């Protein structure tokens, strides 16, 4: 916005000072140039949040020590969407202004400065201007591409038909190629010989043939058309005396600024995609596939040189299931120094996961817990991309963290718990409140073993207050339920009904006075909104709750 305003301001002031009568056009040009500046900036910035590997690296590196800066990275998707909306609005302004320009170029064709005209002759049909010049044609194509991309990027489409959004959004590359051609038309020119032909100068050749008195001449010709180059306007507006032209004005096309703006981020993005492609080209080795209750499947695998931090996610690509689709899943177990295995838990929800499950777990053996060894030879090839960062990595960097999971949303916290089971001392975290809300009692069996082991470990190390587990069963049919006979610790921490958040927050605030508590939520939107609101409320104990949010489409 700032660039548009300053550009508009400078153009308007020079134009108004020098040209009470403008030969070619005024407002249309200003608006189109100003909106072009904004578009330059946004088209270059919009690519940066999509360099996910770079963002994951920044999140984990020592170069970003401040938590506030890392929290900015959480908002990268929102930033991308904001830039997109800005591009949409200012493209509208730009197109409208140029349509007016096209008309003006043809109607007000200037015979004095033939080079400055975009039209080839007076009253050229503006539609011809639009479709037969390079900027015009590329502009029209870009608008069509932008139209397709924007209509497919609305929230409703992303939530219901993600494929349409994904396939049309890949047209961005066409958009950038067209943009590069669009500015190469050389329409905007600046005058190269301002010293020998300053604006407002008098051409002696023309006046010698006319017998008019000098003062009259001055008053008529002082309003000479101002060439389009605005490079040195200030000096000439102050001159009190009039200069004599030595030669005819010469014009040269401006260097397309857009190339400078977009080349950096575009190269960065292309480099990142190339790096990700090379990195993900080697398939993983699937060690085991485990079927869990409530339609959840766990896959454990190994890959050479794969390192991940707890809380990060990967995308799975299985060509036997779908050649083009990639699906993101949070890691539930990260590779450590001693153990290279990592794993994901997938909930079987859509057609991709269903087909994936059918390939890995043939229908006959879907009831049993672990797949017989003999089937492992027939596993399909699986490629992973990542790991990519997420806000949940931050939970180990708070002294006190509150982690709330809804259903399958427990997966990011599972990797945190696995890491704590391995070794909790290197991290800043000293107390973890873990709340898990599920609809079905069987869902708790996904990580019941992990939770019990963790609980026992901290009891034995004499740190019983390190992890506070609360499990909630939100829907019940009245029958008393338990998770399993052997899970004593969990059964005593199982509550029926929804959690009472206000009481919980008050309790945490009371026992952690004056501290900053990191709140993390992975679950339905309504849960997230409630927690966000409660985190922002003040409490009488001086405890600050910082809400960290991840947005899923």
Partner 1 sequence: MGQIEWAMWANEQALASGLILITGGIVATAGRFTQWYFGAYSIVAGVFVCLLEYPRGKRKKGSTMERWGQKYMTAVVKLFGPFTRNYYVRAVLHLLLSVPAGFLLATILGTACLAIASGIYLLILWDRR
User: Is 143 a binder of partner 1 (CB under 8 A)?
Assistant: yes
Distance CA 218, CA 334 (A): 82
User: Is 320 a binder of partner 1 (CB under 8 A)?
Assistant: no
Nearest distance from residue 137's CB to partner 1, in Å?
13
DSSP codes, 140-153 = HHHHHHHHHHHHTT
User: Is 227 a binder of partner 1 (CB under 8 A)?
Assistant: no
Distance CA 382, CA 474 (A): 36
In SS3 terms, 88-137 reads as HHHHHHHHHHHHHHHHHHHHCCCCCCHHHCCCCCCCCCHHHHHHHCHHHH
Nearest distance from residue 147's CB to partner 1, in Å?
5
CA distances to 410, 436, 472, 482 from 493, in Å: 17, 11, 8, 10
DSSP H or E stretch at residue 471? strand 467-473
User: Is 89 a binder of partner 1 (CB under 8 A)?
Assistant: no
CA distances to 55, 109, 244, 279, 487 from 521, in Å: 21, 63, 74, 31, 25
User: Is 144 a binder of partner 1 (CB under 8 A)?
Assistant: yes
DSSP codes, 198-256 = -TT-B-HHHHHTS---HHHHHHHHTSPPPPS--SSHHHHHH--SPPB--S---EEEPP-
Nearest distance from residue 226's CB to partner 1, in Å?
23
Nearest distance from residue 129's CB to partner 1, in Å?
9
Stretch 93-112 residues interacting with partner 1 (CB under 8 A): 95-96, 99-100, 102-103
User: Is 152 a binder of partner 1 (CB under 8 A)?
Assistant: yes
Of 126, 139, 158, 125, the residue nearest 92 (C-alpha): 139
Helix (H, G, I), strand (E, B) or coil at 318: coil
Which range, of 146-154, 333-341, 488-496, 508-516, touches partner 1 by CB under 8 A? 146-154
User: Is 92 a binder of partner 1 (CB under 8 A)?
Assistant: yes
User: Is 151 a binder of partner 1 (CB under 8 A)?
Assistant: yes
Contacts of 93 (CB under 8 A, 6+ apart): 31, 32, 35
Stretch 508-547 residues interacting with partner 1 (CB under 8 A): none
- Nearer to partner 1 among residue 87 and residue 452 (C-beta): 87
User: Is 161 a binder of partner 1 (CB under 8 A)?
Assistant: yes
Nearest distance from residue 143's CB to partner 1, in Å?
6
Nearest distance from residue 208's CB to partner 1, in Å?
41
Give the bridge partners for 298, in sequence order.
290, 345
- Nearer to partner 1 among residue 144 and residue 287 (C-beta): 144
Which range, of 75-83, 122-130, 293-301, 378-386, touches partner 1 by CB under 8 A? 122-130
Cβ–Cβ < 8 Å for 395, 518: yes
- Nearer to partner 1 among residue 50 and residue 93 (C-beta): 93
Nearest distance from residue 352's CB to partner 1, in Å?
10
User: Is 174 a binder of partner 1 (CB under 8 A)?
Assistant: no
- Nearer to partner 1 among residue 74 and residue 124 (C-beta): 124
User: Is 147 a binder of partner 1 (CB under 8 A)?
Assistant: yes
Strands 251-253 and 313-317: unpaired
User: Is 359 a binder of partner 1 (CB under 8 A)?
Assistant: no
User: Is 156 a binder of partner 1 (CB under 8 A)?
Assistant: yes
DSSP codes, 486-508 = T-HHHHTTEEES---HHHHHHHH
Among 351, 354, 358, 507, binds partner 1 (CB under 8 A): 351
Binding residues for partner 1, per CB under 8 A?
92, 95-96, 99-100, 102-103, 126-127, 130, 140, 143-144, 147-148, 150-152, 154-157, 159-161, 163-164, 351
């Amino acid at each position: 916005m700032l660039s548009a305003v300053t550009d508009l301001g400078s153009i308007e002031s020079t134009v108004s000072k020098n040209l009470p009568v403008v030969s070619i056009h005024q407002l249309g040009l200003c608006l189109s140039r100003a909106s072009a500046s904004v578009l330059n900036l946004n088209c270059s910035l919009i690519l940066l949040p999509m360099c996910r590997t770079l963002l994951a690296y920044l999140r984990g590196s020592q170069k970003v020590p401040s938590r506030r800066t890392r929290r900015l990275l959480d908002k990268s998707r929102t930033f991308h969407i904001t830039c997109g909306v800005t591009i949409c609005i200012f493209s509208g302004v730009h197109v409208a202004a140029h349509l007016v320009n096209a008309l003006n170029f043809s109607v007000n064709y200037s015979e004095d400065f033939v080079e400055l005209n975009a039209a080839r002759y007076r009253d050229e049909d503006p539609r011809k201007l639009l479709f037969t010049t390079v900027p015009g044609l590329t502009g029209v194509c870009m608008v069509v591409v932008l139209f397709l991309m924007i209509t497919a990027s609305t929230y409703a489409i992303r939530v219901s038909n993600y494929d349409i959004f994904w396939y049309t959004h890949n047209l961005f590359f066409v958009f950038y190629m067209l943009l590069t051609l669009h500015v190469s038309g050389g329409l905007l020119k600046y005058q190269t010989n301002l010293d020998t032909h300053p604006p407002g100068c008098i051409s002696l050749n023309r006046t010698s043939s006319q017998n008019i008195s000098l003062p009259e001449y001055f008053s008529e010709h002082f309003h000479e058309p101002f060439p389009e180059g605005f490079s040195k306007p200030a000096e000439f507006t102050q001159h009190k005396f009039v200069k004599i032209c030595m030669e005819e004005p010469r014009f040269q096309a401006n260097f397309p600024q857009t190339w400078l703006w977009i080349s950096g981020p575009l190269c960065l993005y292309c480099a990142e995609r190339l790096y990700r492609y090379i990195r993900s080209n080697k398939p993983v080795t699937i060690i085991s596939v485990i079927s869990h209750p409530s339609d959840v499947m766990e896959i454990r695998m190994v890959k050479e040189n794969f390192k991940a931090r707890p809380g990060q996610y990967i995308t799975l690509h299985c060509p036997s299931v779908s050649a083009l689709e990639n699906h993101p899943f949070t890691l539930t177990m990260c590779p450590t120094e001693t153990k290279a295995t990592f794993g994901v838990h997938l909930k079987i929800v859509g057609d991709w996961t269903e087909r994936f499950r059918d390939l890995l777990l043939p229908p006959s053996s879907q009831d049993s817990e672990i797949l017989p060894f003999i089937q492992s030879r027939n596993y399909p090839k699986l490629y992973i991309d990542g790991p990519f960062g997420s806000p949940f990595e931050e939970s180990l960097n708070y002294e006190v963290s509150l982690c709330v999971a809804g259903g399958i949303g427990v997966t990011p916290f599972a990797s945190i718990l696995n890491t704590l089971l391995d070794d909790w001392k290197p991290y800043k975290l000293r107390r973890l409140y873990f709340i898990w809300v599920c609809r079905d009692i069987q869902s708790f069996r996904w990580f019941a073993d992990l939770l019990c082991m963790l609980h026992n470990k901290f009891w034995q190390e004499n740190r019983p207050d390190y992890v506070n587990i609360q499990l909630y069963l939100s829907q019940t049919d009245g029958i008393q339920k338990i998770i399993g006979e052997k899970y004593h610790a969990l059964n005593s921490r199982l509550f029926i009904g929804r959690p009472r958040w206000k009481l919980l927050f008050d309790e945490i605030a009371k026992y952690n006075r004056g501290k900053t508590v990191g709140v993390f939520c992975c679950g339905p939107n309504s849960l997230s909104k409630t927690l966000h609101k409660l985190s922002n409320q003040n409490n009488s104990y001086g405890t600050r709750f910082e809400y960290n949010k991840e947005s899923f489409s």
